[in-house]
Structure 1
Amino acid sequence: MASIKQFQVTFDCADPERVARFWCEVLGYVVPPPPKGFASWEEFNRGLPAEQQGSAFACVDPSGVGPRLFFQRVPEGKVVKNRVHLDVRVGTGLVGAERLAVLEAECARLVALGAVRERLLLADEYNESCIVMRDVEGNEFCLD
């Protein structure tokens, strides 16, 4: 059986470009170039039927290592907790006060971008500290 090594993470949302641009800032991702024959994503978007304009957006890891993130407009709003979430690994290898300082600094940066801080989970005998947050449309993620 073949082993699949690449995948894309897809977000359902109300405003794909807004959420994509938030995650670009969080992860250092970039918006990929528009399809061939189009000078910009705006130009590409104008060529779509009205009901499809603004219905999707993406961002990619400029190094090509991380997965592509795809954002698609859906009619329904978010109503329950995510079953899957991203852990943004900003404190890898750090412990104690040093880890908390890095997590808090990144949390402040992301709150300025529109994220919402939910709660701090302090280290216990099994896990290091992390901060539970929500993106600009309420999707949960953790600063880990």
Structure 2
Amino acid sequence: MALIKQFQVTFDCAEPRRVARFWCEVLGYVLPPPPEGFATWDDVDRELPPEQRGAWSACVDPSGVGPRLFFQRVPEGKIVKNRVHLDVRVGTGLVGAERVAVLEAECARLVDLGAVRVRLLLADEDNESCLVMQDVEGNEFCLD
């Protein structure tokens, strides 16, 4: 039997810290502690060459269960739709109007954090409703 491997999800972005803070709020994640010998991530940055300051950030599940999210600065902007996206599970087990109400409430919270609502996909014979959104840099994700 194959061994289960841990993984992280990596986002290319322009402002790693901003995107990391957004996803911490969305998922209830936290920023990892700075390396030993540093009180803050700003202290770490001060030790780096200017071009490397703020070049990456991460957020982690405080319970240790979910994958780490890693954010790395890249020079190019987002051009096309993501090939991979996160589904944020907020309506699990709910159906119909009750599910849509929960999706809409979470959507409103995330819009206040800087997300963009794209469209509501209503349930059909094969799928329950979900809400397509974009994070603070335009990366697509779904409220599911």
TM-score of Structure 1 vs Structure 2, range by shorter chain: over 0.9
Tell me the TM-score normalized by structure 1.
0.98
The residue number in structure 1 matching 2:41 is: 41
Rounded Cα–Cα distance in structure 2 between residues aligned with 1:18 and 1:2: 37
Report the AA paired with residue 114 of structure 1.
Answer: G
Q: Quick check: 1:12 aligned with 2:12?
A: yes
Rounded Cα–Cα distance in structure 2 between residues aligned with 1:94 and 1:69: 27
The residue number in structure 2 matching 1:78 is: 78
Report the AA paired with residue 97 of structure 2.
Answer: A
Question: Mapping of 1:62-141 within 5 angstroms?
Answer: 62-141=62-141
CA RMSD of aligned residues (A): 0.8
Tell me the TM-score normalized by structure 2.
0.98
Rounded Cα–Cα distance in structure 1 between residues aligned with 2:87 and 2:45: 31
CA distances 1:15-60 after superposition (whole Å, capped 9, x unpaired) = 0000000000000000010000101000001100111000000000
CA distances 1:101-132 after superposition (whole Å, capped 9, x unpaired) = 10000000000000000000000001000000
Identity between Structure 1 and Structure 2 (%): 84
Rounded Cα–Cα distance in structure 2 between residues aligned with 1:52 and 1:30: 22
Count of aligned pairs: 144
Rounded Cα–Cα distance in structure 2 between residues aligned with 1:7 and 1:93: 27
